[in-house]
Structure 1
Amino acid sequence: MLWTFLAPLLLLLGASAALAQSAPAPFFPRFDEAYDARVTRVSDGDTLWVKPLAGGTYRKLRLDGVDAPESCQEGGLAAREALARRVLEQTVTVTERRRDDYGRALVRLTVRDDDVAAWLVREGFAWSYHWRHSDGPFAIEETLARKERKGIFAAAVVEEPRAFRKRNGPCPMPERPEAKDQPPR
């Protein structure tokens, strides 16, 4: 009697194991494992899309350790354009660190061995991500950008994106014609 119950279960397990071995596994790197990708789209000053060179689907990524102005916030378009000039259609090295609350991979992104997030803060296009009593991973770069009054730090008073979002909500997404070789929204 026990055998009549276990036999179909064992067959099902064997069939699913065979299917798992024959189907190609999707490419998902382990955290802190680097891969090369081509940047296909820049959404804003700290979010972009890449296509892994090894194959697989497009990925929406957020730069770890920075917070750029919102697209509809003062400095937001300049931050997006600066990031696009720096990485769009470039081959970059992506190191996924963890996921954010929206499921995006938080990443360290390098282009020609230069950390893109550090560059954004150093040039005044983003803040080092502050939390609790920490000045964030790019505090030195932010201090220098403030001292030199670069980018967003040129204004006497600048509103951090977190405060802007709390006061205004998210920016509306602009309409964009869909291209054949582009990631979904």
Structure 2
Amino acid sequence: MKRWCAGVGLALMAFSAGAQEAQGPDEVYSARVSRVFDGDTLWVKPLAGGPYRKLRLEGIDAPEICQSGGEASRDVLARRVLNQVVEVRVRAQDEYGRGVARLKHQGDDVAAWLVSSGHAWSYRWRRSLGPFAEEETVARARRRGVFKEAEPELPRDFRQRHGPCPMPPRG
């Protein structure tokens, strides 16, 4: 029963982020991270070949790139995984066509690590504090990353107030 409830919670979290359940079992592959767009979005190149894939890290919400802590979140993620091989587990697709995925790097769950370091929030859904609530509690208590601020603003609240970040000029 506990495993079923956890699965239902995971499915609800995926839908809360605008994701749709992937057909069949999770897609799992090894890939090299080729670009880190922000604290929860990156591009990978599967080692077995095929096109580059844009992924959204499941279970977290990182600051928008133009939000306080956004560039730091991106930079921390890039230092950890850029040009590194990761294990990708795609669990769903979001409304932008990104794979909603769990990433493992050197045995660590990358999303859990980002929340623990204070560079992302555990993704909230209704009354749930999300899958990384414990990691977030510790990061807050230790005043890490965005939690150094007295009242850091949730990225979804920031997006509601400001809309999307403007695209940088192409150079």
TM-score over 0.5 for the alignment? Answer: yes
CA contact (8 A) 1:69 1:79 kept: yes
Moved more, 65-74 or 165-174: 165-174
2:36 is aligned, of 42, 57, 61, to 42
Report deviation, 1:150.
Answer: 0.5
CA distance in structure 2 between the aligned counterparts of 1:37 and 1:176, rounded to whole angstroms: 27
Kindly report the root-mean-square deviation, in angstroms, between the aligned alpha carbons of the 2 structures.
1.3
Q: How many residues align?
A: 149
Q: Greater CA radius of gyration, 1 or 2?
A: 1
2:89 is aligned, of 91, 95, 98, to 95
1:86 is aligned, of 74, 80, 84, to 80
2:63 is aligned, of 69, 77, 84, to 69
Q: Which runs of 5+ in 2 are unaligned?
A: 1-22
CA distance in structure 1 between the aligned counterparts of 2:53 and 2:74, rounded to whole angstroms: 18
CA distance 1:63–1:51, shift in 2 (3 Å):
same
TM-score between the two structures when normalised by the length of structure 1: 0.78
CA contact (8 A) 1:66 1:127 kept: yes
CA distance 1:36–1:176, shift in 2 (3 Å):
farther
Higher relative contact order (CA 8 A, sep 6+): 2
Aligned to 2:122: 128
Q: Give CA deviations for 1:64-110 in whole Å, capped at 9, x if unaligned.
A: 00000000000000000000000000000000000112111100000
The runs of 4+ residues in structure 1 deviating greater than 2 Å are none
CA distance 1:105–1:138, shift in 2 (3 Å):
same
CA distance in structure 2 between the aligned counterparts of 1:159 and 1:96, rounded to whole angstroms: 28
Identical-pair percentage: 64
Q: Give CA deviations for 1:122-144 in whole Å, capped at 9, x if unaligned.
A: 00000000010111000000000
CA contact (8 A) 1:35 1:93 kept: yes
Report deviation, 1:34.
Answer: 1.4
Moved more, 40-49 or 94-103: 94-103
